[in-house]
Structure formats: C-alpha cells, structure tokens
Amino acid sequence: MLVARRKEQLEELQSKIARIHPNVEVVIQTADLSVIENAYTLYESLQGYPIETWINNAGFGNFASVAEQDLKKITTMLHLNIEALTILSSLFVRDYSTIEGTQLINVSSGGGYTIVGNAVTYCATKFYVSAFTEGLSHELKSQGVPMQAKVLAPAATETEFAKRAFDVTDFEYHGVVRKFHTAKEMAGFMLDLYDSNHVVGLVNGVTYEFELRDAIFNYVESTR
C-alpha cells in the first residue's frame, strides 16, 4: 500500500514495481495528511487489509530563522510532521501491537538528534518524532507485546526534500551538498533497520556511515 498526495507519481511507482515484481499487488491511495481529518479517513479505509509494517515517511522541512519563517508553511509542517504521524502511529499500535512480527517505522532525521542552524523548527518536529518513537518502543517492551517501534534518521538524501525546504523549483545535490545518500541507499538502510532488533537507524552526520543503535534518549519508567 502506497500513500502520497500526487496520484501521477504513485501510478508511476505502481507500474515500476509491477514490472520488477509482477506477482506483488500494489495498492495506491492519495491523501494530503497535512489535513488531519485525512489521517483518520486514510486509516479507516485500510481496515480491510492486514498490515504487518507501517512506515510513516510523510513530512517536509523548512530552512529559515524563527523570526523569518513562513508561519502558514510552518503550521502545515507541524500538522504533517507531528500530528498526522502521532495519529497514524497510535491507531496502528492500538490495532496491531499484540500481533507477532508487526513493526512501526517512523522516519525522523539526523536533525531529530542534532539541532541544525536555520532549521530550528524543522528539527524540533523531528526531535518529537524521535522522542515519541523511542518512548513508544520502551512502552511496547514494558507491556511485553511483540510489536517493534523504530526510528530511521537520515542525513542529506537526494530527494525532493531540499526543493520543498528551500521553496525552489530546482535543486542539484551534486556540487552543492558535500555528502548525501541516494533514495535507493536510504531504502537499503531502512531494510537494515527492519531486519535488526535495534530501535534507531541513524546516519552519522560526520562519517555519513549508517549506524544501528539502541534508544538514544534517556527514559524513566512511570511509577504510576
């Protein structure tokens, strides 16, 4: 099941997967998850499908100082990066946490563990994703349920991220960004995280090596 805003790109990806794996059924669905009601509608529409792995990858960035940032864009970013992810994660956990083999993978960022200048608000949204998912992982383990919750934290990746973050129509990574990974490389890292028992898959911001780690943030069990 693939979900995104743009139907044409979803159809292209659906056709590409069908050519490579003709026996795999790929279902596509359009949804703008920055509209919070759509998160509930999307999840409800998937009730007929047994889901083993849920990946929350929707999100975008913003590069501007806090004083100068476009608050309309920031509001949309908060809805998508934080609210939609929290709602969809919560619904999936409610329905599937006791089912063996299930995983929830939330895509954060290197900026979800290190604050980046001129991207303070974006990093704050990703710190939320990292903290929420790590905390959920602790919660699931303390409850003794089989579901695993994991965080993927990429660094610079050759996608449309920069165009949206900088509000430009074209962006060339080669020659501009000193180090970056391709989307294909990042997909491979996600599979490494999926196949592991670690909670965090993080691209080291210095070496750009992919590292599998246990939860990074401090966690204290509730006494209540």
Backbone φ/ψ region at 74: left (φ over 0), alpha (ψ -120 to 50), beta = alpha
pLDDT tens readout for residues 20-60? 999 999 999 999 999 999 999 999 999 999 999 999 999 99
Domain assignment of residue 130, yes or no: yes
> By CB neighbour count within 10 A (0-12 exposed, 13-18 middle, 19+ buried), where does 191 fall?
exposed
pLDDT of residue 162: 65
How many residues are listed for the chain in this entry? 224
pLDDT tens readout for residues 111-163? 999 999 999 999 999 999 999 999 999 999 999 999 999 999 999 877 676 67
Domain assignment of residue 207, yes or no: yes
Cβ-Cβ contacts under 8 Å for 29 (sequence gap 6 or more): 1, 2, 3, 10, 42, 45
pLDDT of residue 177: 74
Average pLDDT over residues 193-209: 97
Domain assignment of residue 24, yes or no: no
Tokens 């063996």 label which residue?
100
pLDDT tens readout for residues 68-114? 999 999 999 999 999 999 999 999 999 999 999 999 999 999 999 99
What domain count does the chain have? 1
Q: Which of 65-69, 121-125, 164-168 has the lowest mean pLDDT?
A: 164-168
Q: How far apart are the first and last CA of the chain?
A: 39
CATH code for the domain in which residue 98 is found: 3.40.50.720
What's phi and psi for 151, nearest 5 deg?
-115, 125
Domain that holds residue 115: 53-213
Domain assignment of residue 160, yes or no: yes
CA 179 remoteness from chain centre: 21
Dist. CA 154–CA 210, nearest whole Å: 9
Domain assignment of residue 35, yes or no: no
Confidence of residue 174 (pLDDT cuts 50, 70, 90): confident
What's phi and psi for 29, nearest 5 deg?
-150, 135
Q: 120: closest CA among 169, 163, 77? A: 77
Domain assignment of residue 36, yes or no: no
Domain assignment of residue 105, yes or no: yes
Domain assignment of residue 163, yes or no: yes
Q: What is the mean pLDDT of the chain?
A: 94
